Chains A and B, each alone.
Chain A
């Protein structure tokens, strides 16, 4: 199973871009990268996913390196409400989502 590695915590000033890295060096060719976040006491919220091209939606941008061994989630203008734990996931066979420990992002005023 492909595994992911993320820094345990990051800080970001409100209004600045938050860049959250993820390493998935064992990813296989047909596995997608998914990003979720979880605010305390709520269920995980889907953010974005991609295979090999960069992706953008109303919440964030996803940059995947050419060799697909790492990716970066970008929140272009972080707000206090973006404070959460962010999970980078490579979906494995059988639909099982494996959430690691994630990155705890703290956005400060």
Chain B
């Protein structure tokens, strides 16, 4: 079974802090994704990566950055956390070998910015 592990289920940080969200997958997947999920807005794609050291902006990259130094790990960074970044953050990975392969998600990190 595919395993996507997010480092924290719940996280509370303060405005202005630099926040790191970590995601690790154990299936040697090439592609990894970061989404945020908010009530009434569904999932929105923040950043994604097709390979190590590669990154692409999604729909809402402002205020975020990412790091993919190793194939299995994809980190999301909130450069200076703000209250409007309070959300559920979801990481996903996918086998990039075939374009129809599904994305597999972690359990999410519920982040609160105070």
Which listed residue (A46, A91, A97) contacts B43, Cβ 8 A? A97
Interface of B is mostly: strand
Whether A43 pairs with B106 at a CB distance below 8 angstroms is yes
Provide a sorted-by-A list of 11 A–B residue pairs whose CB atoms are within 8 angstroms.
Answer: A41-B108, A42-B107, A43-B4, A43-B92, A46-B104, A91-B100, A95-B103, A96-B45, A97-B35, A97-B43, A97-B103
Interface of A is mostly: loop
> In the complex, A98→B103 CA distance in Å?
12
Whether B108 pairs with A98 at a CB distance below 8 angstroms is no
A interface footprint on B9-33 (CB within 8 Å = 1, 0 otherwise): 0000000000000000000000101
Which listed residue (A32, A42, A43, A100) contacts B100, Cβ 8 A? A32
> In the complex, A28→B51 CA distance in Å?
28
- Chain B interface size band reads 20 to 34
Chain A residues contacting B43 (CB-CB under 8 Å) are 44, 97-99
A68 at the interface (CB under 8 A from B): no
B104 nearest CB neighbor, chain A only: A46
Chain A residues contacting B48 (CB-CB under 8 Å) are 95
